[in-house]
Amino acid sequence: MINLDRLITWLNQSTLQTTNNPLYQVIKTLIQAAQEFQSEQEVINATAGGVITGLEDADFLTHSNEAALLPNSRELIAGTSISFDDTVVNERTISVVGATGIDHVVLSDGVEPPTPISDGAGNFVYVPYVV
Q: Is it the case that residue 98 has pLDDT exceeding 70? A: no
Q: Is it the case that residue 17 has pLDDT exceeding 50? A: yes
Q: Is it the case that residue 99 has pLDDT exceeding 60? A: no
pTM of the model: 0.35
Q: 111 or 44: whose pLDDT is higher?
A: 111
Q: What is the rounded average pLDDT of the residues 26-32?
A: 90
Q: How does residue 18 score in pLDDT terms, banded at 50, 70 and 90?
A: confident
Torsion of CA 12, 13, 17, 18, to 10 degrees: 150
Taking CA atoms, 59 is separated from 8, 13, 18, 54, 94, in Å, by 47, 55, 59, 11, 21
Element (H, E) at 84: strand 82-85
User: What residues contact residue 126 under an 8 Å CB cut-off, 6+ apart?
Assistant: 104, 105, 106, 107
What is the overall mean pLDDT for the chain? Answer: 79
Q: What is the pLDDT of residues 32-77, one digit of tens each?
A: 888 888 877 776 666 655 455 566 677 888 888 887 777 788 888 8
